Amino acid sequence: MTGFPAHRPRRLRSSPAMRRLVAETSVEPRQLVLPMFVAEGLTEPRPISSMPGVVQHSRESARHAVREAAALGLGGVMLFGVPEHKDPTGSGALDPDGILNVAIADAREEVGDDLLVMSDLCLDEFTDHGHCGVLDDAGRVDNDATLELYARMGVAQARAGAHLVGPSGMMDGQVAAVRSALDAESHQDVAILAYAAKYASAFYGPFREAVDSSLQGDRRTYQQDPANRREALREALLDVQEGADIAMVKPAMGYLDLLPLVRDHVTVPVAAYQVSGEYAMVEAAAERGWIDRDRAIAESITSIRRAGADIVLTYWAAELVEQLLI
């Protein structure tokens, strides 16, 4: 019989079972990391208005969330500290009794080695000016003075129990500084997840509420220009050369083109961070009935994995496992 298609790709889409069989991309709990905010002085979780469903945790509620993440089989949690007091040098980040370091210790006490406890290594939550480093006399972020603090911060987090630290300030040489300090203090087994290609993005807006940011000005002199692609690869290659164990692209959805670029040029795992604004947009549209929330969440994570991310940091990590049955 003539006139019929010689090829029928639709046969492989004919039923849910068939689609599962031939799916090229999967999302597994082990590939997901849950970012968490732990705030000093709270006795119960505090909702973050711009991120429905996400909270600033108390130490006790953070312990519960970490236990839940381990039970769900997530790859890890990424902890951010929200201090009550800030200063120009972010000294709370170095204090063993500071909120981030005690949150790390709490998490390790709860889960041991059953879940990776990761910690954000940056000063922006701890400085009264909100920048990711210390400022010089002209009010500019001093790269090399900041590296000294990052090195000490990495050691403090390792001593608290972090399995993995995430230098996120986009200072030149940050990975080398942290790796050298960790090794010198016999923390050779603590891994580094480098925020290798982190862009000066508008999609971080809700995060500023989540960490009670006091940012003055912007971060365009150290975070990457959204117009640049080759620069992302340069940054990633430098971080791997300096000792990064994992290289990350941030944000994720607006920068999907960078994931295969980085994936094709490095041999370490590649991560992507689905940031607060990406989360908030889906939640806001779904609340208005404009999109199917669950399908949009699953599709967004799948797109990040399909683009080349081995690991996805997402605020939906626990829900994806509990509710969407990945």
Domains plus CATH for the chain? 26-322 (3.20.20.70)
Query: CA-based diameter of the chain, in Å?
Result: 82
Active site residues: 198, 250
pLDDT for residue 215:
81
Query: In this model, does residue 2 exceed pLDDT 80?
Result: no
Q: What is the pLDDT of residues 143-167, one digit of tens each?
A: 999 999 999 999 999 999 999 999 9
Retrieve residue 121's tokens.
Answer: 């290594």
Token pair of 31 as six digits = 């590939």
For 181-186, what is the mean pLDDT? Answer: 98
Q: Distance between terminal CA atoms of the chain?
A: 43
Q: State pLDDT tens for residues 194-215.
A: 999 999 999 998 988 888 888 8
Give Cα 89 to chain centroid, integer Å. 23
- Which long-range CB contacts under 8 A does 293-299 form with residues at least 24 apart? 294/323, 294/324, 297/324, 298/27, 298/324, 298/326
What number is the average pLDDT over the span 1-12? 87
| Threshold 0.85, pTM exceeds | yes
Residue 265 clears pLDDT 90, i.e. is over it: yes
